[in-house]
Structure 1
């Protein structure tokens, strides 16, 4: 369930940031800011649903999922297929994110 929340949060963050990118970098209508802001609010809300003792660990572990989602966005939205270095890097990040989130800690 945690990974689904993280994936949803990552997609909401990327979509929100992409809306700002479209407005600023591609010189499109400021109306792009409306879905962008709503998407970024959804992103922030979704991260609050992760059961973790400390927010910092939640955000740190989310980083690995964000990297995976950003590479998926690169492929899906921008048409650039991730290479072996992208895949290797995201695998390392996901392992690190898992250790941060679920590593044993003293009570």
Structure 2
């Protein structure tokens, strides 16, 4: 159950990070409203706070989070940007996610 909760928390963290970067991108590249910078700032602040909720040392949290970030970014690419993913995209995301699970499984043993 611990790994499941940790994985969900990482996915929420990744969505906040991606959203916090995507909204300014819309403003700069797609001439969207500068008001998007406000929710972007909130999303990035939430991203930082969510990273602090993990019980492991920061380096381990960042390393494990990277695996979920890869998967989330590719899902964003597929469903928000509408880009079709290749088999190698899916394979790489699965490998990265497995790496995260291995790192988190060892948190109590280090």
Q: TM-score by structure 1 length?
A: 0.90
Runs of 4+ deviating beyond 3 Å: 104-107
1:1-107 residue pairs with structure 2 within 5 A?
A: 1-52=5-56, 54-103=57-106
CA deviations 1:32-72 (Å, max 9, x no partner) are 100001001111111111121x1011011000101111111
Aligned residues: 106
Q: Structure 1, unaligned stretches of length 5 or more?
A: none
What RMSD, in angstroms, separates the aligned Cα atoms of the two structures? 1.6
- Gaps of at least 5 residues in structure 2 are none
Shift of 1:27: 2.2
TM-score (norm 2): 0.88
Deviation of 1:106 (Å):
5.8
CA shift in 2, pair 1:30/1:96, >3 Å: same
